[in-house]
Amino acid sequence: MSLRHAILVLLQDQEASGYDLAREFANSIGLVWNATHQQIYLELGKLNDQSMVKYRHIPQDGKPDKKLYRITDEGRDELIRWLRKPAAPPRIRDAFMVKIAGGDLTDSASILRELDDQGDLRRERLNTFEALASKLDDTSRDRDLFTYLTLRRGILDQQAWLHWADEVRSALKKREEQPVAVPTSV
């Protein structure tokens, strides 16, 4: 319901094409909201119809033409209105966690395998986030305070996940060491 607002937030700083936005959704904002290019183009179309944004057509040679969008006053008003009213709590949809909840059906080995895979991904993210955050440390993180805080959120999130993964590993190890009185097949 608020892809539109995420787009407006991005357009606040600078004019951008749909393609530019898609890239940013894959990086910075992707941390908190992700979207594909189809959705973005569609939403830009709607925003344009409602004159929240406007664009100018830029012919390019060598590359395809593009449309550079910028936010309008109406768009900024809408954004501010949205910022004021409380956000709905995020709905959680974590397929991996559903697997954990149904873990009795699987063997530990395949759980551990996927745990490692997901862990690699998380650790990777953690590194990039930390790199970006320390870059902000060096220069000025007062101006980019909210970017910094967003990154911190991502960092703490990954760390919490990795910590949990360790707990899972040691719990599964303990369970295998002491062959318990649990039926292996019902």
Candidates 3-11, 47-55, 57-65, 131-139: pick the segment binding a second copy (CB under 8 A). 3-11
Report the DSSP beta bridge partners of residue 69.
16, 55
112 binds, among DNA, a second copy, none (CB under 5 to 8 A by kind): none
CB 60, min distance to DNA, A:
6
Q: Select the residue interacting with a second copy from 15, 19, 20, 33 (CB under 8 A).
A: 33
| Contacted by 79, from a second copy, DNA, none: CB < 5 to 8 Å by type | a second copy
Say whether residue 44 binds a second copy (CB under 8 A). no
Rounded to an integer, what distance in angstroms lies between the CA atom of residue 167 and that of residue 164? 5
Q: Which of 8, 18, 129, 150 binds DNA (CB under 7 A)?
A: 18
Judged by CB under 7 A, how many residues of this single chain contact DNA?
28
Under rule CB under 8 A, residue 26 binds a second copy: no
Interface pick for DNA out of 13, 49, 59, 64 (rule CB under 7 A): 64
CB of 53 within 8 A of CB of 75?
A: yes
Measured CA to CA in angstroms, residue 5 lies from 27, 107, 142 at distances of 17, 43, 24
Contact 68, 15 (CB under 8 A): yes
Between CA 68 and CA 55 the distance in angstroms is 5
Binding mask 72-111 for DNA (x = CB under 7 A): ----------------x--x-x------------------
**What are 53's two structure tokens?**
């944004």
The closest alpha carbon to 4, from 93, 74, 94, belongs to 74
Q: What is the DSSP letter of 90?
A: P
State how far the Cα of 124 lies from the Cα of 141, in Å rounded to an integer: 23
Within 140-169, the residues that bind DNA by CB under 7 A are none
Residues at the site binding DNA, with contacts judged by CB under 7 A: 1, 3, 17-20, 22-23, 35-39, 41-42, 44-45, 60-67, 88, 91, 93
